[in-house]
Structure 1
Amino acid sequence: MDPTAEDLLYRLDSMKQRPYGRAVIALVAISFFLVFWDVYNIGFILPVAATQLGVSISSPLYALPITTGLIGYVFGELGLGYYAQSIGRKNTLLITLAIAAIGSLLAAFSVNFVEISIFRFIIGTSIGGEIGLTSTYISEITPSSIRGTYVGIATAVGMIEIIPVGATAFFIVPTIVWGWRMMFAVGAIVAIPAIIMRFIYMPESPRWLLKVGKKDMAEREIKKMEQYLKKKYGKVERHEVKKISEKVEETNLGVKALFTNRKNASRMSILLAAWFSFYIGDYGLVSVVPTLFIEHGLTISTSYLYFFLSTLGDSVGAFTGMALSDKVERKYLSLGIMILSFIFFSAWGLTNISVLIIIFGFMVFFTQGLWLPVMYAYSNEVFLTEGRSTAMGLTDGMGHIGGAISPYLLIPIALSAGILGIDGYSLAFIFMGITAIIGGLIVGILGPKTKKLRLEEINDGEISGYVGKTTGNR
């Protein structure tokens, strides 16, 4: 007797162990490596590239590479997220790496800030696709009881790259004339072999296969997972999960359908607002803070050293988030993390003591890094499989507009006289902290609970009335 779609999803979600090899985790972690390499490198690149290419901090061109890169994120998450519903998670993740390689090579040979900005947009398109799809992909191929942990692992492993990016920037960018160009070229160096490895080792999402009517292929992927567990552990250990009784429909929700349902539209609004607010501070943190240090009177080398030591907290936070993600209700964990982030942001901006600059900076990055794996897991699990990558693209992708406008908010604040006895430099850090706590409050108060629930349970009943008229609807 042929298994039903519900049977196949039950077989996947009831597995106790990770049903795929470490190579899959590594190849997903490459996504986050590229993401965070791109996020961090621009903060190190800008001060030196601007000096070489004759651009001052007060010029609108100075922040343009940050903004165009983040606008690229928006287009990448929206466009590639939508097409991942049609061509599959795996195929789209191959395309994103190809775009990353092309954009990185072009950026490395830029001769002015306009070219850097254009090529940063291309890179950003690929990075946006990676952000939206990798956490979606891991969420869909991982059993429900360990879903948050493994999204966290992929995020945390990718975030280890802050060690090489910081070391490269500290030793090469200020001292070698082509150092900042090397920071761009690394994206291509990593992406090209990763394309081949992804093609060979990464399975397609069984959930996506079921949604597009490829049940035989979905069953084949789940059998491979079960075979992997039998080979590794001798048997497939299972625990009881709720059996989803309703029919798993073969449908692909377009953008219009995502907004038609009130529950889904509400969740999209909540997450869009949360990501938008968070990214104002987060991208200000990683792209503008080295410039703020330099404008505050620190040398380039000292600024890069302080920033590098502070960023080490990011990967520590990410691994902590990985450990906590399946133990604490994610919406409440998100709120607690952002309260701490506000406190440390404010303390960081108000101190001029070297050791405290490093300590508070470390703790800011710790809280920001802690929030990301929790929220990447959370953002994907509150949406339907047939609209997940599109919804993630709309919420996280559009949220990056907050990051795009961030330097145009923070730099004027930092250069201002300040208010209430607080100078502009300190006020810029406090402002970043405020945007962090707003993001946490939105999720903690308004978001649904998701801990250890199956994806279909979290979204139970959301698409009633759409079947048969949503496929291909945009």
Structure 2
Amino acid sequence: MTDVTTPTVAARLDALPFTRGHARILGGSGLGWALDAMDVGLISFIITVLVSEWSLTGEQASWIASAGFVGMAVGATLGGLLADRLGRRSVFAITLLVYGVATGASALVGGLTLLLVLRFFVGLGLGAELPVASTYVSEFAPARMRGRLIVILEAFWAVGWTAASLIGFFVIPNVAEGWRWAFAIGAIPAVYALVIRWGLPESARWLERQGRHSEAEAIVARLEASPALASSQRRRGEPVLVPTPLAGPAATTAGERLRALWAAEFSVRTACLWLVWFCVNFAYYGAFIWIPTLLFSQGYDLVKSFGFTLIITLAQLPGYAVAAWLIEVWGRRLTLSVFLAGSAVSAVLFGQAGTEGLIIATGMALSFFNLGAWGALYAVTPEMYPTSLRGTGSGWAAGVGRIASILAPLSVPPLLALGGVPVLFVVFAVFFLVAAGAAWGLVDKRGQTLDDR
């Protein structure tokens, strides 16, 4: 049974073309996303330098990465809960401020212990921000283009990682104590947090769910008055098919929200989503945090290993572009599983690569498929839950994934000792394949309106 006339906030948002207001929301959130990626990317280059400057063991180097991921695990779970309670925009701004300040302070450290403490706080902010940002944008996006817009949001990750690679290539090896300057550049998000807080609207869906109808109405009205920037399959004001909301009270406390994730309606999708997040995080961060160091340890000098990493990183952008197109053609599950399977094949080939040409080619393939998979994963995650649970569900899925990102850098040294680079990347391939299978337990909501319970 459907109602084609009720002008709810959801129906009005889904009826909109892509407007200048949407572009502002996407661009503002995407710039924050890019700054996040820049921070994560920079640490992979900084670790390589500190191994030499501070005479670090492999285990100590692993902890520099893993300390940040411990913070990300905590931040993701808390950030989602806070986003459902306090709103998307406010939590987004707070998290940018936390990790921007901690990253800038890292430029002043003189030893490993303080760096590990600051990396935890960097991760705390970063881990909370990413699932909140994807939830925020998904709640503004019209249904027919929602998946594509979230993949485009995720594509800003490639912009940030490329910026990190450029800093790693041009600044870190060529400037005295270049790693400190890299950290200082990473403090930019602390300033940008103020722009986010005051420059972007709160989620209209969240406001309506909180009973703040006049505020939600004003935000939707501004979007409706905003000029369209692209052709649309719908016209402004055209009725949208909106399913009648399912019965059942919405969760209102943190405990109720957590229990609701495992209710009969959501238990399978929650289990599969957590498994995909865990496996993708393990394989991605295990590989990409260590690639510059692995290349350096194989005899390539600092500049060449960083240069290889820069070239490999550039393949992320076409990966996102293809995923952004396919996700509204094939749907979420097929796109996600295909890109994960491609990641698995690429990982095996990269582990076997023995020449410079093969290292670059297989590394670019791994980058292409893996980051396309990330785009699809961020698109599907907020769609699994209703508005009252969306931040919590997205945050906890990301938090479970961050457990894997803690374990992955720590697992690299023993796996290298066991069988070298080939065995290491076969293990990563297995994780990609498990994630590809688990993706089929998710619900595909291509073209459907979000659940606004």
The two structures share one fold, judged by TM-score above 0.5? yes
Q: Percentage identity across aligned positions?
A: 22
Q: 2:328 aligns to what SS in structure 1?
A: coil
Which letter does structure 1 place at the counterpart of 2:332? R
The question of whether the paired residues in 1 share the 8 Å contact of 2:147 and 2:324 is answered with yes
Distance 1:399 1:260 in 2: 17
| Worse-matched range after superposition: 296-305 or 432-441 | 296-305
Q: CA offsets, 1:428-456, max 9 Å, x none?
A: 1221122112111110x322222111112
**Alignment correspondent of 1:12:** 13
SS of the aligned residue for 1:62 comes to helix
Paired amino acid for 2:207: L
Q: CA deviation at 1:253?
A: 5.4
Asked if 1:252 corresponds to 2:252, the answer is yes
Distance 2:296 2:393 in 1: 39
- Partner of 1:269 in structure 2? 271
**Which residue of the partner structure matches residue 359 of structure 2?**
357
Give the equivalent residue in structure 2 for 1:101. Answer: 100
1:5-25 Cα offsets, whole Å, 9 max, x none, are 862221111223346253322
- Asked whether the 8 Å contact 1:63–1:408 carries over to 2, the reply is yes
Match of 1:407 in 2: 409
Q: 1:125 aligns to what?
A: 124
Query: For 2:299, what is the secondary structure of its paired residue?
Result: coil
Q: Please say which of residues 192-201 and 167-176 is displaced more in the overlay.
A: 192-201
Q: Distance in 2 between matches of 1:431 and 1:230?
A: 47
Distance in 2, matches of 1:374 and 1:247, equals 26
TM-score (norm 2): 0.92
**Aligned residues of 1:139 and 1:151 also touching (Cα < 8 A):** yes
| Partner deviation per Cα, 1:392-444 (whole Å, 9 max, x = no partner) | 1111112111111002222211123x2xxxxx12111221122112111110x
In 1, Cα distance between equivalents of 2:314 and 2:388: 37
Secondary structure at the aligned position of 1:263 is classed as: coil
Q: Which residue of 2 aligns with 1:42?
A: 43
The structural deviation recorded for 1:154 is: 1.6
Secondary structure in structure 2 of the residue aligned to 1:411: helix
Aligned twin of 1:373: 375
Letter in 2 for 1:51: S
Say whether the 8 Å CA contact 2:162–2:314 is kept in structure 1: yes
Query: Whole-Å Cα distance in 1 between the matches of residues 302 and 229 of structure 2?
Result: 53
Q: Could you give the per-residue CA deviations for residues 89-136 of structure 1, whole angstroms, max 9, x where no partner exists?
A: 111111111102211111111111221111111111111111110110
Query: Which of 306, 309, 324 is residue 308 of structure 2 equivalent to?
Result: 306
- Choose from 279, 290, 293 the match for 1:291: 293
> Partner of 2:283: helix, strand, or coil?
helix
Distance change (3 Å), C-alpha of 1:15 and 1:68:
same
Aligned to 1:428: 424
Residue type of the alignment partner of 2:129? E
Residue type at the aligned position of 1:311:
T
Give the total of aligned pairs: 445
For residues 14 and 156 of structure 1, what CA distance do their matches in structure 2 show?
25
- 2:73 paired with 1:74: yes
1:200 maps to what in 2?
198
Structure 1 contact 132–397 (Cα < 8 Å) conserved: no
Task: State the match for 1:449 in structure 2.
Answer: 444
Residue aligned with 2:289, SS = helix
* 1:437 equivalent in alignment to 2:433: yes
Q: Cα RMSD (Å) of the superposition? A: 2.3
1:209 equivalent among 192, 207, 212: 207
Gaps of 5+ in 2: none
Q: Secondary structure at the match of 1:125?
A: helix
Measured against aligned partners, the alpha-carbon deviations of 1:360-399 in whole angstroms (never above 9, x if no partner) come to 1011001111111111010111111101111111111121
Q: Distance in 2 between matches of 1:357 and 1:327?
A: 32
Matching residue's letter, 2:252: N
Q: 1:236 to 1:202 in 2, by over 3 A?
A: farther
Q: Establish whether residue 188 from structure 1 lines up as the match of residue 190 from structure 2.
A: no
For the residues of structure 2 that align with 1:291 and 1:250, how far apart are their CA atoms? Answer: 48
Aligned residue type for 1:25: L
Residue in 2 aligned with 1:139?
Answer: 138
Shift of 1:38: 2.2
Q: 1:184 to 1:427 in 2, by over 3 A?
A: same
Distance 1:109 1:311 in 2: 28
Q: Which moved more, 1:25-34 or 1:194-203?
A: 194-203
In the aligned structure 1, how far is the partner of 2:197 from the partner of 2:251? Answer: 26
Instruction: Answer yes or no: is 1:150 the counterpart of 2:179.
Output: no
Secondary structure, counterpart of 2:8 in structure 1:
helix
Counterpart CA distance in 1 for 2:32 and 2:330 is 26
Deviations 1:172-218 (A, max 9, x none): 222333211122222212x1332232233211111101111111111
Q: Which stretches in structure 1 are left out of the alignment for 5+ residues?
A: 419-423, 464-474
- 1:228 corresponds to which residue? 226
The answer to which of 132-141 and 293-302 deviates more is: 293-302
Q: Structure 1 residues 232 and 45 mapped into 2: Cα distance closer, same or farther (>3 Å)?
A: closer
Q: In 2 relative to 1, CA 109–242 (structure 1 residues): closer, same or farther, beyond 3 Å? A: same
Deviates more, 1:387-396 or 1:34-43: 34-43
Over 3 Å counting, the alpha-carbon distance change for 1:166 and 1:256 in structure 2 is: closer
**CA contact 1:277–1:399 (8 Å) conserved in 2:** yes
Q: Which amino acid aligns with 2:286?
A: G
Partner residue of 1:318 out of 320, 328, 331 = 320
Query: Which residue of structure 2 aligns with residue 467 of structure 1?
Result: none
Relative to structure 1, the CA distance from residue 239 to residue 369 in structure 2 (aligned partners, 3 Å threshold; closer, same or farther) is farther
The alpha-carbon deviation at position 278 of structure 1 amounts to 0.8
Distance 1:244 1:6 in 2: 13
| Residue of structure 1 in register with 2:32 after alignment | 31
On the 8 A contact 1:331/1:447 being kept in 2, the answer is yes
Moved more, 17-26 or 301-310: 17-26
CA spacing shift, 1:232–1:446, aligned 2, 3 Å: closer
Going from structure 1 to structure 2, the CA distance change for 1:106 and 1:193 (only over 3 Å counts) comes to: closer
